Chain A
Amino acid sequence: MITLKINGKEHQVDVDPSMPLLWVIRDIIGYTGTKFGCGKGLCGACMVLMDGTAVNSCQMPVSAMQGREIITIEGETENLQALQKSWAELNVPQCGFCQSGQLITSTAMLNNNPNPSEEDINSNMSRNICRCGTYTRIKGAIKHCVEQNNKS
C-alpha cells in the first residue's frame, strides 16, 4: 500500500510501485483533469504540483510520491484559482486539453516568482505544448493575473 496526499486528501493505493503518478491519479483514484499527452515528459499535459513544483506526473513513479503534497488541476492552491479566472477572462482555451498542464506550470511559476519577466514566462511555459496554439493568450493571461495580484 502506498499513501498519497492529493489535493489535501489521503489515498491508499495498491499498485505496482513503478506505476507513474499520472496513471494512479487518472485510472486508480479517478481525477481525470490531469492529462496524458506523450508519456515521456515532453509535452507537459500531465503536470501536477509536487510540493509546489510543477512536475510531469508521467515521469514520477508512485513509490516516490509518499509524503509529498500533490496538487492537481482540481485542487486549490495559491495562484491556481486566480490564473483560472484570468484564463476565462482572456478566453484562453481552444480544445482545452493541454490547459490543465499549462495552468499547473504557470501556477508553480507564479508561486516561485510573482513577477515573471517575458523571458521567465517563455522559459517556464516552454515545457508545455499547445497544439491549438494558444500561447499568445496563455502569456496574456499570466500577465493579466500578475497585474491583478499586484493590485490586490
Chain B
Amino acid sequence: MEPIKNISRRGFIKGIGLASGGLVLASTVYSFSKFEDEAEVISEFNPNLFVQLNSDGSLILVASRSEMGQGVRTSLTSVIADEMEADWDKVTVKQATGDKKYGNQNTDGSRSVRTLFQKMRQMGATVKSVLITSAAKSWNVPESECTAENHFIVHTSGKKIGFGELVDIAKTLEVPEKVKLKSPKDFKYIGKNLPSIDVESLSNGSAVFGLDKRIPNMKFAAIKRCPVAHGTVKSFDKTEALKVKGVVDVVEVPMLRKAFGPLGGVAVIATNTWAAFKGRDALKVEWDTGANDSYNSEAYMKSITANVHKPGHVEKSIGNIESAFQSSNKSVEATYRLPHLAHSPMEVPNAVASVNGNTCEVWAPIQSPQAARREVANFLNTEEANVTINVTFLGGGFGRKAKPDFIVEATAISKAINGPVQVVWSREDDIQHSYYHTVSSQYLKGALDSKGNVTGWLHRFALPTIGSTFTPGKNLPQAWEARSAKDVPYDVPNMQIETGKADAHVRIGWLRSVINIPHGFAINVFADELAHVAGKDPLDFRLNLIGRDRIQDTKDPYKYNTAKLKHVLKTTAKNAGYGKPLPEGHAIGLAVHYSFYSHLAAAVEVSITDGSLKVHKINMAIDCGTAINKDTITAQMEGSAIFGMSLAFYGKITAKDGAIEQSNFHDYRMTRMSQAPDIHVEVIDSNEPPTGVGEPGVPIIAPAIVNAIFKATGKRYRSLPLSDHGLV
C-alpha cells in the first residue's frame, strides 16, 4: 500500500463529506463514488476511504483485502472500530473493488494485517478525533473534556451524544493530520476473539461466492484447454457440442503467453453449467501441444536431482564449507524430493464478466483485484477506469486466486459473445491447469565435530522458479526464493547455499507458504537426521543448533530472533508432553521455522500400526507479534495443520507427456475428518508489530510428521507424499 499521504486540502467533494487532511489514500476526487449511489436519505461522513459513518449511527467499514477464510474482513475492520471507539454491533463491512486508491490489495504473502494494522489504527483514531471535535463544538466545551465511548462522545458533565448525530457537524470539519493512538491496554476488540462478521452468511448459504454470482442474461461457459501447458488450438469441430441441449455457442479463447494470460482453448457457452460441461465433452479439438509435451515427472526428478548432486550456483557462503567437511568427525548427507502441488480451493476458479463496448464489469473470487483490473483493461485495450472488479467471497484461495487468468478468460468470452458470462472451471480443470507449486530436489550435507556440534551446512536445491511464469526461460530461483534457505537461523560457522538449474514445463505459482514448503521440509528433516547421527535428543540438538540468542542482521525491518524461535520450540514441546511417557508405539516429531516474519514450531504425535500412519496430536506455537484476533490465529493454525497433513499424506501432481495425471479428489486426495488429529495452538503474547499468520503454519507440519515417524520406527522418509511409501 502506498503510504498514507498528506494531500493538499481539496475542500468538500460533491456533498459527500470531506476529503481533506491526512487520510485520503489517493488523490482522485472520485474516491468516494462507490458510496454516492446509496446514501439518498441519510447523511454520511466519509473521513477517509475506509470509513463511512451514517447519521443513523450505522457504520460502514471497507475491507480492501479479499476474504478467503483468513478472517480479514473482521480483523482489519475491528482495528478501525477499536480506535474509533465504535460499537461493533453497528458495523457492516463493505468489500472494496479493485482500485489503486486503496493501496496494495494483493491478498497474499500473509501481509494484510502486518502492513495495514497501523494504517487502520490511524484511520479509526482520526475519525474519533473529528467526532470529539464535533461534539465539543456543538456543546461549546473544550475538546479535552470529551471522550469517545462505545459509539458516543461523552462529556465530563455526563451528557453524551451518539456518533450518528455528529455526522452533520463532522462533515464540515477538517480531518486532523496527527492523532494519538490508543494504548494497547485499552484495546477493546484488538486481541480479543471477535467471531467472523460473516459467520451467519457463511453458515446459511447466503454468502455470495464468485460461483454464486448471477446477473441478468448471464450465460455459463466451460473451456477445453490443451492438456499441455501453453499448447494451442490447431482445429476444432463444434458440431456435436452444439447439439447438446442448452448449448448456445462455441468460441475460441486465445492463448496469451504472459503470467496471468489465459491458457486458451475452446469455450462452450450454454444456458447452464452442466450443459456447458456436456458440450465441452462433445467438442473435438486438435492441439499443437508445443514445447512442453515431453515433460515427464519421473525423468524430470532425476534430472534436477543430478543438478543438486554437483556444484551449483553459490547463493551464500560463510566460513569455508570444504574445510569444514575435511575436518569433520562425521558427515551426513541426504537428498529430499517433493512433487508439484495444486492449490485446489474448494471453490474452483470462476468469474463473471460483462463486457459492454470498451467497459467491463467483473465479479470474481480474486486475491489480486488490481492485477485483474489491469489485465482486463490490457485485454480490452481500454483504460483501467473502464473496468470494475467486484470481489466476491473466495471459497479458498491459497495463492491460486492471486492469478486472474480465469477473469481474462471470462472477459474474452463475454466480448466474443457480446453478453455476460460466467466461466466455470471443473475440478479436473483446476487440478490439471493450475499454477503449480514447484517440484523440488534438495541435497544437504552436514559436518559434525566430535561433540556432535554442527560445523558445516551445505544446502543445494533445484526447483523450477516462479520467475519462469513471468519470464519464460528462467531456470534459477529468484533471490527471494533462496531466502528461506539462506536465512536459516542456525548457528553454524561454515555454511553454503547453492542452487541448481531447473526448467519449468508447467505454470509455476505460489501456494500457501510457497518456497517454505520445500525448504522447511528439508531443513527440519535434515536437522533431525543430524541429531540422530550425533546421538543427541532432537529437541536439545535443535536448540543447540539455533544457538546463541541473536537477532538477524538485516536491513529488513523484520528480523528473526533466535530467542523467540527457541521459545516457540520449547513451548510447543512442553505443551505436547515431549520427553514424557507416551502410549506404546507413539512418538513425537518436531519442526521449527521462521517465515512471513513469524516464529513457529510444531510437535506432532504419531503412531504406526500395521504399517498404517495415524497422526494423533498436533501442537503448534506461534509468535506473530501483536495478536489482533487470537481465535482467528488459532483457526489459521488448525487449518495449516490440516493443509500440511494433506500435502504430507497425499500431495502429488505429476505430468506424463506434458499432461497432468491427477484429475479429482480420488487421486489428488485431501485429509478428512476421520484423520483429523487433536490440534492445540499456543499464541505467544507479544506487543511487537504483527507479522504473518495465514501461511507460516503450513511448512512445519510435514517435517514434524516425518521426524515423528523416524522416532517411532527408525525409518526415514525423504520424499513426499507418504502415500507413495504405503503409510496412508
- Which residues of A pack against B, CB within 8 Å? 15-16, 19-20, 23, 26-28, 30-40, 42-43, 45, 72-74, 84, 87-88, 91-100, 103, 121-123, 125-126, 128-139
Interface residue from B196, B277, B346, B676 paired with A98 (Cβ < 8 Å) = B346
The distance from the CB of A93 to the nearest CB of chain B, in whole angstroms, is 4
* Cα distance A130–B198 in the bound complex, in angstroms: 18
Which of A30, A130, A134: most chain B Cβ within 10 A? A130
Question: Which of the listed residues B199, B201, B394, B631 has the most CB atoms from chain A within 10 Å of its own CB?
Answer: B199
Indicate whether A16 sits within 8 Å of B245 (C-beta atoms), given known contacts A32-B211, A130-B346, A133-B641: yes
Residue contact A96 to B69, C-beta cutoff 8 Å:
yes
Which residue of A27, A33, A126 contacts B672 across the interface (Cβ within 8 Å)? Answer: A126
Tell me how far the C-beta of A116 lies from the nearest C-beta in chain B, rounded to whole angstroms. Answer: 12
Knowing A35-B211, A95-B396 are in contact, say whether A40-B665 is a contact too (CB < 8 A).
yes
List CB contacts (< 8 Å) of B647-704 with chain A: 664-666, 670-674, 676, 678-679
CB-CB under 8 A for A38 and B220, given A87-B203, A126-B672: no
A95 and B273 contacting across the interface, CB-CB below 8 Å: no
Partner of A91, one of B195, B640, B678: B195
The CA of A103 and the CA of B640, in the complex, are separated in Å by 22
List B contacts of A73 (CB < 8 A).
Answer: 204-205
Among B394-430, those with CB < 8 Å from A are 394-398, 424, 426-427
Residue of A nearest to B430 (CB): A38
B673–A128 CB distance below 8 A: yes
Residues of B within 8 Å of A136, CB to CB, are 638, 676, 678-679
Secondary structure type dominating chain B contacts: loop
A27 touching B220, Cβ below 8 Å = yes
Residues of B within 8 A of A125 (CB): 672-674
Q: Is the CB of B272 within 8 A of A27?
A: yes
B725 within 8 A of A: no
Q: Does B547 touch A at the CB level, under 8 Å? A: no
Q: Show the binding face of B for A, using Cβ within 8 Å.
A: 67-71, 193, 195-196, 198-209, 211-212, 214, 220, 245-246, 271-275, 277, 344-348, 393-398, 424, 426-427, 631, 635-636, 638-643, 646, 664-666, 670-674, 676, 678-679
CA distance A34 to B212 in the complex (A): 9
15 A-B pairs with C-beta separation under 8 A: A16-B275, A19-B272, A27-B271, A36-B348, A87-B199, A91-B635, A95-B67, A96-B395, A126-B672, A129-B665, A130-B346, A132-B396, A134-B638, A135-B642, A137-B638
Q: Please, how many angstroms separate the alpha-carbon atoms of A99 and B633 in the complex?
A: 20
Partner of B665, one of A19, A42, A135: A42
B residues in contact with A97, CB < 8 Å:
209, 345-347, 393, 395-396
Question: Cβ of B208 and Cβ of A32 under 8 Å apart?
Answer: yes
Instruction: Tell me if B673 and A23 are in contact (CB < 8 A).
Output: no
Known: A19-B274, A129-B665, A134-B639. A95 touches B670 (CB 8 A): no
Determine if A36 and B211 form an interchain contact, defined as CB atoms under 8 angstroms apart.
yes
Q: Is the interface of A mostly helix, strand, loop or mixed?
A: loop
CA distance A19 to B278 in the complex (A): 10
**B396: contacting residue among A19, A32, A40, A131, CB under 8 A:** A131
- CB atoms of B209 and A139 under 8 A apart: no
Asked if residues A122 and B674 are in contact (CB atoms below 8 Å), the reply is yes
Contacts of A128 in B (CB 8 A): 672-673
Residue contact B274 to A35, C-beta cutoff 8 Å: no
User: Contact check: which of A16, A40, A88, A121 meets B673 at CB < 8 Å?
Assistant: A121
Closest to A83 in B: B203
Task: With a 10 A CB-CB cut-off, give which of A35, A40, A95, A100 has the most chain B CB atoms.
Answer: A95
Determine the distance from Cα of A98 to Cα of B348 in the docked complex, in whole angstroms: 12
Contact indicator B207/A96 (Cβ below 8 Å): yes
Most A Cβ at <10 Å: residue of B274, B394, B424, B636: B274
B664 with A72: CB separation less than 8 A: no
Q: Given A34-B205, A94-B639, A97-B395, are A43 and B346 neighbors across the interface (CB < 8 Å)? A: yes
Task: Give chain A residues whose Cβ lies under 8 Å from the Cβ of B205.
Answer: 31-34, 72-74, 100
Closest 6 CB pairs of A and B: A33-B205, A133-B642, A97-B395, A96-B202, A94-B69, A95-B69
Contact of B427 among A28, A40, A99 (CB under 8 A): A40
Tell me the minimal C-beta distance from A26 to chain B in angstroms: 7
Q: A residues within 8 A CB of B203?
A: 84, 87-88, 92-93, 96, 99, 103
CB proximity of A36 to chain B, nearest CB, Å:
6
From B70, B274, B666, give the contact of A23 (CB < 8 A): B274
Beta-carbon nearest neighbor of B277 in chain A: A39
A97 to B393, CA, bound (A): 9
